[in-house]
Amino acid sequence: MPHRLVIGSRLGAQHREVELAGLARASGHPVRTIEIHDLVHLEGELDDVELDRLARLLLVDAVHEVVAPSSTDERLVVETGLRPGVTDVAAEELVGAAHRLGIAGLRRATSGRRYVIDADVDLDTEALSTDLLMNPVIERWAEGELEPSFVEAPPVEPGIDRIDVTLLDDDALLDLDGERGLSLSLPELRAVRAHFVSVGREPTDAELEAIAQTWSEHCCHKTFRALIAYPDGTVVDGLLDALRGATDRLDRSWVVSAFEGDAGVIVLDDDVEIAVKVETHNHPSAVEPFGGANTGVGGVVRDVVASSSKPIALTDVLCFGPTDLDHADVPPGVLHPARVRSGVVDGVGDYGNKIGVPNVAGAVIHDPGYITTPLVFCGCIGARPRGTVDGVIPADGDAIVVLGGAVGRDGVGGATFSSRAMGADTVETAGSSVQIGAPIVEKGVIDVIVAAGEAGWYRSITDCGAGGLSSSVGELAEGVGATVDLDLVPRKYAGLAPWEVWLSEAQERVVCAVPPQHVDAVRALAADHEVDASVIGTFGGERLVVTAGDLPVIDLDLGFLHGGRPRTELTAHHPSTDRPVRRSLPELDPERALLDLLAHPSLRSVEDVVRTYDHEVLGGTVVRPTTGVHLDAPADGTVVVPPGSTSGRGVAIGVGVNAVWGRLDAQAMAECVVDEAIRNAVAAGADPERIALLDNFSWGNPRDPEELGRLVAAVDGCVAGSLAHEAPFICGKDSLNNVYVHPDGTADPVPPTLVITAVGVVPDVERTTSSDPTGAGRLLYLVGSADPVLGGSHLDLVLGTDHGGDVPTADPSAPASYRALHGAIAGGLVDACHDLSEGGVAVAAAEMAVGGDLGVEVAVADPGDPVAALFGEACGRLLVAVAVEHAERFEDALPDAQLVGRTSDDRRVRLAVDGHDLIDLPLDAVRMARQGRRP
């Protein structure tokens, strides 16, 4: 019997309603008010008493909510709900909680929303709904009451299809690839055809999908493994090998694992190792921002857990289009940047907050280049006991144990979807690729894995991410073989074809190789944490054999699956980095320029984001993402201490990213963002001799020779930066084909974007630094010898014109400078330290004033252009505050540091160039600008 409950906000607790109505009016929908009600459909034998208990105990927050009345006074009502087959985490939790309360009659539930809308005029209900009230990728809507939609089992269970490939010509192979969304190249399709000709049969649908997943750009990084040729005869023999080669040359003894397994690992101290991974979740976040970002966090957390580590910190770098973009300028099939930003920020925070891991570092960037293709970089840092052994090959007879959630159609084809460009029809075609996160389930999985790892109950483990069981079991089975029965895999609902079960990317799952004698212990441990543990097969047999009961599904030679893909061969062009000579600026008001820079969406305060994340949970955050007297100034690097660590050491995290330079000179950009990430970590207290790097490339179409040439140049820059700073790369991820194709066929690639994450050891967490001076009278020193330039600067961004000029390049003296600065920090000589990046010395000085809630006076030399002296950008520079009593020792430690000013108690920001006063602003005006408010 169906039931429905509607829950609304109490009077005075309607913040989300006010926000949504304002956003609707800003988007051109003439609404007065919008009431938001949570909607729950229930199915089962429930009496009124049980319904009342469900509402009171599980659905209604008595402080903020009430059961809403059914009457809407003839106002417009729109109801939304998830499409059939999309994971409904809230409904699943409701059913489980009801059963624990003894309400066994509740069989199924769905969740949704009801919107009661008051408007001055008739509305375009469909436009309002699809613009703001729901996401057509995963949701449906109705005017008036929405009927519940439960997944019903088909009358006949789906079986196995044989796909004809052996007799297809090349054109037919390409047609097949397009029909099934395999994202395979013609040489790869030919290899598939030749293999099945050689075995004398046609592939099953599951075999074909498994091959496509294993060979996808997302999973095997075929561009980074490709042979790349230039028209002049130059050949690049593998970008991944170039990055690994730099790490091998450095041969740092404290690197435990680099480019192996699910995460990179370094030594922290005698007892603790640190595991790190950063992933991208760009395509999913573009079509469903909350779910894409939410599962991006969940996926990278599982990567760290699969390295037998306990997550201790999260990072996120988020790239959006301008949130004030006119809705008429949003291309077809693209969500408005404001909606993407809201959903992504909420998705990141929802996952980290619910699993109890602090979000401590990152960046929020806005640029028109991200309108059609937003970027979401999610990172995780974990800790594990020193000497933990991972990467062990499963043994014959080990049980294949899946821990975590059941499978559904969510995420089916995600690996191949993420390996191709997007277009106006992506929303209609990619719904099955969207994944929905369940962080509460993941918290249980984390606890089980950590405990089982400490007990030594599993031999091997891997994240069940892109490609689902196909990638996780397929990867663990390489070299040993596996036999799987899909009938043993838990399902969310009936009606899944075997290939869908095999490829489903349903979240919160890991796969372990468990020796037979430990299976019962693992199952008992999982049961204690209310986590499902299913034995779905055994390792061994040398082939990958998958059945569904007695039905044969897959029988593949693992040598072909993992080694049969023909090597990709690509052509690149050397990118031009020629820049026009810098043109003279029009008359510039330095004070207005500084305020405009501080208010720029990429430079302004991100308190509205950071404060939605818990960066204190676990109690180990030493340097926080916001700092200062009022906690409203930006930290450069952040520092965390692993729970239980007693050595006094900490982990510093720094991030480098600058897509503006990526458009102009990819190699210089890469060298500079490597420098920025290291500089941020050092500014927080990290020892530059103990810093490891992670690279994350988000690029356009690698088959475009110009785009590929920029990618090769960026890798060259990464290698050069790594070797110059003697900082090894230990892990990385590439996300390619970040391209939106407009209806007229015009390609719109994402700006070449490289995120570098630096993870370093802080020798003494009592000797960390942040960007806020602790009082007036501190001396300010400029560290770094590079001359600032305005090419590709953020000043040009706020002026709206590229005035030409060279972009910054790496400073050869920076590595030695950072070592000397670290010595000064470790010696207690530094009061505060802030890196100079976007906006140059003027922005850095203003931010230090905000942090200390005091005045600053800075006077710098003129390198030939007073505007460049104030706002120019360069690598390797920091502004350092030093107490007067430490000045002599600081100058001895850093003899090239320039004394440029001091802090004061007059709460004004004053900057001069060669004795000419150019900026004199009250601190309140500076703070208002940083908050996005115009003074």
Active site residues: 218, 281
3-class state of residue 614 by DSSP: coil
Type of residue at 635: A
* DSSP 8-state assignment for residue 56: I
> Which residues are within 8 A (CB) of 740 and not within 5 positions of it... i.e. 6 or more apart?
331, 334, 372, 373, 421, 422, 423, 747, 748
User: 3-state secondary structure string, 621-655?
Assistant: EEECCEECCCCCEECCCEEECCCCCCCCCEEEEEE
In 200-254, alpha helices (H): 205-214, 217-220, 239-250
The residue assigned the tokens 């999309």 is 86
> Count of CB atoms within 10 A of residue 142's CB?
15
Give the tokens for residue 1: 């019997």
CA–CA separation, 551 and 498 (whole Å): 9
> Which residues are within 8 A (CB) of 774 and not within 5 positions of it... i.e. 6 or more apart?
831, 832, 852
Give the tokens for residue 181: 């969304």
CA–CA separation, 401 and 154 (whole Å): 28
* DSSP 8-state assignment for residue 925: H
Give the tokens for residue 399: 């049980």
**Pairing, β 31-44 against β 106-119:** antiparallel
Give the tokens for residue 419: 């390996």
- In contact, 207 and 188? CB cutoff 8 Å: no
The residue assigned the tokens 């060259």 is 716
> Which residues are within 8 A (CB) of 138 and not within 5 positions of it... i.e. 6 or more apart?
82, 83, 86, 288, 291, 431, 434, 436
DSSP annotation string for 248-293? HHH--TTEEESSSTTSEEEE-SSSEEEEEEEEE-HHHHHHSHHHHH
9 to 94, 96, 145, 629: CA distances (angstroms): 19, 25, 19, 35
329, 332, 337, 339: CA torsion to nearest 10: 120
CA–CA separation, 437 and 421 (whole Å): 24
In 122-257, alpha helices (H): 125-128, 170-180, 186-199, 205-214, 217-220, 239-250
Largest CA distance in the chain: 86
178 to 172, 174, 220, 221, 282: CA distances (angstroms): 10, 6, 20, 21, 22
CA–CA separation, 404 and 506 (whole Å): 10
Give the tokens for residue 353: 């907050």
501 to 30, 137, 296, 418, 468: CA distances (angstroms): 45, 21, 21, 19, 8
Rg (CA), the chain: 28
Strand partners, 25: none
End-to-end CA distance of the chain: 60
579 to 575, 663, 791, 805: CA distances (angstroms): 12, 12, 8, 6
- Strands of the 878-882 sheet, one edge to the other: 832-835, 878-882, 779-783, 898-904, 855-860, 908-913, 916-922
